[in-house]
A and B are shown apart, each in its own frame.
Chain A
Amino acid sequence: MLLESIMLENFRQFRHGSIDFAQGKDGKNVTIIIGENGTGKTTFAQAFFWCMYGETEFSDKNMLNKIVAQEMTPSQEQRVKVTLKLWHGDVHYTLIREQVYHKEYSGKVKGDNTKFEIMRKDVSGNSKPMKRTQCESEVKSILPKELSRYFFFDGERIEKMSKDISSGKKAMDFAEAVKGLLGLNAMYSAIQHFNPRSKNGVIGSYESSYDARSNTKVQEYTRTIERCKTRIEEIDARLDELAEQITQANGRKQDKSEEIKQYAEGEELQRQKERLQQDIEHAKAMRSNVVKTICQDFNGAMSSFFSASLIVRALNFLFDKDIAGKDIPYMHAQTIEYLLKQKVCICGTHLDEGSVPYQKVKELIEFLPPQSISTTIGDFKKEAKKRVNSKTDLYGRVCDNLAVISQQDEDIENKIEDLQEIEKKLSSGDVRAKVRAINSEIQLCSQTISKCNSERDMLLQERGRKAQEAERADSERRNLTLLDDKNKKIEIYKAYAERIYEELQQVYISSEAEIRNHLQATINDIFKQIFEGGLYLTIDDKYHISVYANDYDGDVETSTAQSISVIFAFITGIIKMARENRNATDENAKLLSSEPYPLVMDAPLSAFDKRRIATVCEALPNTAEQVIIFIKDTDGSIAEEYLGDRIGSRHTFDKKNDFETVLS
């Protein structure tokens, strides 16, 4: 996405104003907008948000210019309009958001819901408006809201930005959006197009295109597979909800467990409680080890144990039977059949039908495999003797281990009783009301966790069963479809699709990990340029950023300048990598090519000292394809000094009065 221009009408203090942005012609990709404090730099930056997402961070949601609102007569209409023109890929977009305001007879000015329109001009120059229902999702595909804050970089609200990625579900959306920017979008889209869960996907559509006329069973199996998949989908959705609930309950429980320790009587009881809980967990783990040993013993010795008396009886029966030595080692009945057919023995004797040699050789068949019993009986005797001799005392071992379990059960029961005793104290008049309240909340969390865990376990079991059922039906359906020419083709195409889907998923996972490591290195390089000293950044799989000191083991508290540097390094790192992939000559890197993105920065330099401003100014136009900086008039000369030859567009905010700013 590269911005072309923005036009504001009656938006807050801007009655009319527009800006054309430098887009990199002749190496000039920086637009600077200079203004004193309070002239509306932040308002102008917020106009991007409002146009794209219909939101701003202003507490006053009335966007209409105050003078225009004042001059309105009752029943008159006025409109606020922001028009944003941009390029995304090879498509030119015009985004228009408009809001109509009415003045009531009481003098109150009220706005209708905003109207959002997108005009799209494709490579061939055809321009057409998009359906209103598609506009929001189109904006999401251009720049997801979760990421917009980083591109519309707001130095004064850095804390909120950091919190967004370190908490809750937004972090997930953020991680997805970052992956998209790093060029994984194409792979992600491909995976989505194959997705077997969707009936309209490649695999799903093959599933539903089998011709069931040749065999009604095919249809039955298809229905079974569909039913299982639907249920698995429901289970997955519920598992996500449960995981979320468990995480929240665990967090809350931990917080409350710490809080209860602030009260003297609560502290001791809470400590005893935690110790007991740990002991119980430990005892339960020990118990399950013993149960495991019993199962292992049973599985290993069960067949010998139960067959012991039969084996002895069989050995007695075979004791005086002389069968050994009647057959020829390594010789098969088919060998004899072959010789008889050839009518010549190995020794050269003719085997004419009815002759004595013929009869003698033919008799051998009875003792040779598969009919031969001599070898089988020999093997049986060997195995039977081995089992009889090595017969372990399975019964004795199981009895001993059951005794250990019984002891452990008693121990666990005692500890649970102690724990209940402490719980009672924590909920009784022995402690003050506050401690009781905190404890009851801890109990509530524990109940939620245990309830969610047992539901999760049940669902996981059911999921496994359904997956097995679907796999079985799929396998049986395949055996049928391969008998029919038309269905056979579908089966083969589906097998190709499934294999591609599997491999794309593997490539996606490994590419994502590789890209994340590369991103971490790139960010650290940029971070070091801006912020010298013993700090380094790490990115985990959810794209949380942590700052560490080289000589200190643990997350460090960061200052505002540090935080800005972190986010700055993060976003410029992403932009830099996306750009590297785009300009790469390597074919594989080209597969990860993604869009260029602008950096729109509101007062980015305020938090830095002069030396860092120089570094930031130097880094900016080289990392991002387009840079738009809103700057304080006092920082203007510094920016001009360092960015001079990259500036392609300059604008100044001229404040006429508190309600009107003019662009020049």
Chain B
Amino acid sequence: MEKAEITINDKAIERLKRKIILQENQNLKTREKSDQRMVAWIKEQIEEEAQCYLNQ
């Protein structure tokens, strides 16, 4: 069966990658967020960006 296509915005991916690495770097220094909280934070960022393009 053919896999249904989902359009992904390349610019959003670039922005997310950068944001995530910077946050990971920051968190390595401060140890502010646990792994679980980091995962939740990443999901939040992805959902915000994706939702933004869905609305368009």
Please report A residues at the B interface, Cβ cutoff 8 Å.
89-91, 120, 122-123, 185-187, 189-190, 192-194, 200-202, 205-206, 472, 474-476, 478-479, 482, 489, 491-493, 495-497, 499-500, 503-504, 507, 591, 593, 595
Interfacial chain B residues near A201, Cβ < 8 Å: 39
A462 and B4 CA atoms in complex are apart in Å by 27
Give the contacts of B5-49 with A (CB-CB under 8 A). Answer: 6, 8, 12-13, 16-18, 20-22, 24-25, 27-32, 35-36, 38-39, 42-43, 46-47, 49
**Minimum CB distance partner of A91 in chain B:** B31
Check if B24 sits within 8 Å of A205, measured CB to CB: no
Residue of B nearest to A192 (CB): B35
The secondary-structure label for the interface of chain A is: helix
- Given known contacts A472-B1, A479-B4, what 14 new A-B pairs fall within 8 Å (CB)? A91-B30, A187-B24, A190-B24, A202-B43, A205-B39, A206-B43, A475-B1, A475-B4, A476-B1, A478-B4, A482-B6, A493-B50, A496-B46, A500-B17
Nearest-CB residue, chain A, relative to B41? A193
B7 CB to closest chain A CB (Å) equals 9
Using a Cβ–Cβ cut-off of 8 Å, how many residues does chain B contribute to the interface with A? 34
Cα-based distance from A90 to B4 in the complex (angstroms): 46
Contact A493 B46 (CB under 8 A): yes
> B21 to A193, Cβ gap below 8 A?
no
Find the A residue at minimum CB distance from B3: A475
Q: When A89-B30, A499-B13, A500-B16 are in contact, do A591 and B39 touch as well, CB less than 8 Å?
A: no
A591 touching B29, Cβ below 8 Å: no
Name the one of B18, B21, B28, B51 contacting A89, with C-beta atoms under 8 angstroms: B28
Residues of B within 8 A of A (CB): 1-4, 6, 8, 12-13, 16-18, 20-22, 24-25, 27-32, 35-36, 38-39, 42-43, 46-47, 49-51, 54
B39 touches which one: A202, A474, A479 (CB < 8 A)? A202
Asked if A593 and B46 sit within 8 Å, CB to CB, the answer is no
| A190 in contact with B21 (CB, 8 Å) | yes
Determine if A504 and B17 form an interchain contact, defined as CB atoms under 8 angstroms apart. yes
| CB contact between A492 and one of B24, B28, B50 (< 8 Å): that residue | B50
- Closest A residue to B42 by CB, please name it: A202
Chain B residues whose CB sits within 8 angstroms of the CB of A206 once the complex forms: 43
Q: 17 pairs across A/B with beta carbons < 8 Å?
A: A89-B30, A89-B31, A186-B22, A186-B24, A193-B38, A201-B39, A205-B43, A206-B43, A475-B1, A475-B4, A489-B54, A493-B50, A495-B6, A500-B17, A503-B13, A504-B20, A504-B21
Q: Which chain A residues border B28 with CB–CB below 8 Å?
A: 89, 185-186, 189
Q: With A89-B29, A122-B30 given, is the CB distance from A500 to B50 under 8 Å?
A: no
Q: Complex Cα distance A89/B6, Å?
A: 40
Q: Which residue of chain B has the shortest Cβ distance to A481 in the bound complex?
A: B4
| CB of B35, distance to nearest CB on chain A (Å) | 7
Determine how close the nearest CB of chain A comes to the CB of B34; give it in whole angstroms. 11
- Of chain A, the residue at the smallest CB distance from B30 is A90
A52 to chain B, nearest CB (A): 17
Complex alpha-carbon distance, A408 and B49, angstroms:
63
Contact, CB under 8 Å: A496 / B13:
yes
Residues of A within 8 A of B16 (CB): 496, 500
Give A186 to B42 CA distance when docked, in angstroms. Answer: 13
Residue numbers in A under 8 Å from B24 (CB-CB): 185-187, 189-190, 193
Q: Which 3 A-B pairs have the closest CB atoms?
A: A89-B29, A186-B24, A186-B25
Docked CA distance A493–B44 (Å): 10
Interface contact A193-B13, CB-CB below 8 Å: no
In the bound complex, CA of A193 to CA of B23 (Å): 12
Q: Which residue of B lies closest to A480 (CB)?
A: B4
Residues on B with C-beta less than 8 A from A493 are 43, 46-47, 50
In the assembled complex, the Cα of A591 lies from the Cα of B20 at a distance in Å of 10
Known: A496-B8, A591-B25. A503 touches B39 (CB 8 A): no
Contact B50 A496 (CB under 8 A): yes
Residue pair B4, A482 in contact (C-beta under 8 Å): yes
Are B31 and A497 in contact, with the CB atoms below 8 A?
A: no
* Closest CB in chain B relative to A471 CB, distance in Å: 9
The residues of A that contact B22 with a CB separation of less than 8 Å are 186, 591
Q: In the complex, what distance in Å separates the CA atom of A227 from the CA atom of B30? A: 37
On chain A, the residues within 8 Å of B46 by CB distance are: 202, 493, 496-497, 500
Q: Are A190 and B43 in contact (CB under 8 A)?
A: no
